[in-house]
C-alpha cells in the first residue's frame, strides 16, 4: 500500500460534536437520554391519570346526594316547585332523529312531566342542545316530547346549549332557572350537577339509563376528561347568554 494512503487511512478526521448540525446533535442527545425521557413521560402520565381519577371520584362523591331515582324525583315534583326539567342534548342520528341516549333522556323527562301533571303541577321542559345550521338537536327533542304527550307550549328550546356548562349557565342567565331537575345518563349526572352547584343552582338529577349503550367504556373515559376540564371551567365562572333576550318559563314554549 502507498505510504500516503496508509497515512490518510490512519488519520481519518474525527467528527467533533461542536461541528455537527443541530439535527444531528439533537439526535445524539436523545440517544443518550431516552431512558430518562421515557421515565419522565411515564411518571407524568401516571400523575395525570391520578389527577383524572381523583377529580372524577370527588365529583361523583360530592354530587351523590343530589342523585334521585325516577320515583323519588316524581314525588319531589309533586311536593316542591321546580322551574323546569332540563334535558341535555346527546346528539342525533344521521337521519335527524334523536340518538338512543337522547331518546331515553326525553322519555324520562316526559314521564316526570306526566308525574307532576298528575299532582296538579305543570313543570315545563327545557330542551338544551346544538342548533347549528341544518343540525337542529332541540327541534328533534321537542318533536319527540310532543309525540310522547307533552303539550307543545310546555316545551322550551335553548338552541345554544353547545356544552354542559353552557346549557346550565344559559338556563340560569336566559331562562331564569333557579331550581332545576336535570335529566341525563348516570355517567353524565355528576358533572352536570357539579356545574349546577358551582353556578348557584338548586339542582337534583335523574338518570335516564333505559338500556345498554354502545361504546360505554369509551364514553366513561371521555367523561373523566370532561370532568377534569369542567372543574376549571366552572371555577373560572365565565357567563354565557347574558346578552341574549330573557325567556319567561311561564310563557309559551312555542315562541322559543
The rounded percent of the chain whose pLDDT value lies above 90 is 72
- Provide the pLDDT for residue 14: 47
Radius of gyration of the chain (CA): 28
Q: Which of 85, 35, 47 is nearest to 208 (CA)?
A: 85
- Provide the pLDDT for residue 2: 55
Query: Which has more confidence, 214 or 83?
Result: 83
pTM of the model: 0.85
| Residue 185 near residue 208 (C-beta atoms within 8 A) | yes
* Residue 176 falls in which region: left (phi positive, over 0), alpha (psi -120 to 50) or beta: left
- Provide the pLDDT for residue 12: 47
Q: What mean pLDDT is reported for the chain?
A: 90
The beta-strand segments (E) located in the chain are 67-68, 84-88, 125-128, 131-132, 135-136, 155-158, 179-184, 202-207
Q: pLDDT tens for residues 58-74?
A: 999 999 999 999 999 99
Query: Which has more confidence, 193 or 17?
Result: 193
| Residue 169 near residue 239 (C-beta atoms within 8 A) | yes
* CA–CA distance, 188 with 211 (Å, rounded to integer): 15
* Mutual angle of helices 137-147 and 100-118, in 10-degree steps: 50
Greatest CA separation for the chain: 112
Kindly list the distances between the CA atom of residue 226 and the CA atoms of 109, 156, 200, in Å, as whole numbers in the listed order.
24, 26, 20
Question: Is the pLDDT reported for residue 99 higher than 50?
Answer: yes
Q: pLDDT tens for residues 153-185?
A: 999 999 999 999 999 999 999 999 999 999 999
Q: Residue for cell digits 341574549?
A: 244
- Provide the pLDDT for residue 18: 54
Query: Which has more confidence, 47 or 19?
Result: 47
Those residues with Cβ within 8 angstroms of residue 121's Cβ, 6 or more apart along the chain or in another chain: 77, 78, 81
Q: Which of 72, 61, 56 is nearest to 205 (CA)?
A: 72
* Residue 91 falls in which region: left (phi positive, over 0), alpha (psi -120 to 50) or beta: left
Question: Is the pLDDT reported for residue 214 higher than 90?
Answer: no
Question: Is the pLDDT reported for residue 228 higher than 80?
Answer: yes
Question: Is the pLDDT reported for residue 4 higher than 60?
Answer: no
Q: pLDDT tens for residues 101-147?
A: 999 999 999 999 999 999 899 999 999 999 999 999 999 999 999 99
Q: Which of 61, 80, 88 is nearest to 183 (CA)?
A: 88
Question: Is the pLDDT reported for residue 89 higher than 60?
Answer: yes
Amino acid at each position: 500500500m502507498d505510504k500516503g494512503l496508509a497515512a490518510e487511512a490512519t488519520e481519518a478526521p474525527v467528527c467533533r460534536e461542536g461541528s455537527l448540525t443541530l439535527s444531528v446533535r439533537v439526535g445524539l442527545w436523545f440517544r443518550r437520554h431516552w431512558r430518562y425521557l421515557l421515565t419522565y413521560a411515564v411518571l407524568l402520565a401516571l400523575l395525570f391519570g391520578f389527577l383524572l381519577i381523583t377529580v372524577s371520584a370527588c365529583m361523583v362523591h360530592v354530587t351523590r346526594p343530589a342523585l334521585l331515582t325516577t320515583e323519588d324525583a316524581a314525588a319531589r315534583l309533586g311536593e316542591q316547585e321546580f322551574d323546569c326539567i332540563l334535558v341535555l342534548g346527546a346528539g342525533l342520528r344521521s337521519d335527524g332523529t334523536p340518538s338512543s341516549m337522547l331518546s331515553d333522556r326525553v322519555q324520562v323527562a316526559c314521564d316526570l312531566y306526566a308525574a307532576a301533571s298528575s299532582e296538579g303541577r305543570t313543570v315545563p321542559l327545557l330542551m338544551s342542545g346544538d342548533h347549528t345550521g341544518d343540525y337542529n338537536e332541540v327541534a328533534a327533542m321537542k318533536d319527540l316530547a310532543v309525540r310522547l304527550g307533552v303539550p307543545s307550549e310546555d316545551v322550551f328550546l335553548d338552541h345554544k346549549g353547545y356544552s354542559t356548562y353552557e346549557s346550565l349557565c344559559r338556563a340560569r342567565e336566559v331562562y331564569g332557572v333557579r331550581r332545576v331537575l336535570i335529566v341525563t345518563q348516570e355517567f353524565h349526572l355528576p358533572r352536570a350537577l357539579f356545574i349546577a352547584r358551582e353556578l348557584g343552582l338548586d339542582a337534583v338529577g335523574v338518570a335516564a339509563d333505559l338500556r345498554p349503550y354502545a361504546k360505554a367504556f369509551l364514553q366513561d373515559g371521555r367523561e373523566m376528561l370532561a370532568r377534569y376540564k369542567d372543574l376549571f371551567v366552572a371555577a373560572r365562572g365565565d357567563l354565557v347568554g347574558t346578552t341574549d333576550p330573557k325567556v319567561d318559563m311561564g310563557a309559551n314554549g312555542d315562541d322559543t
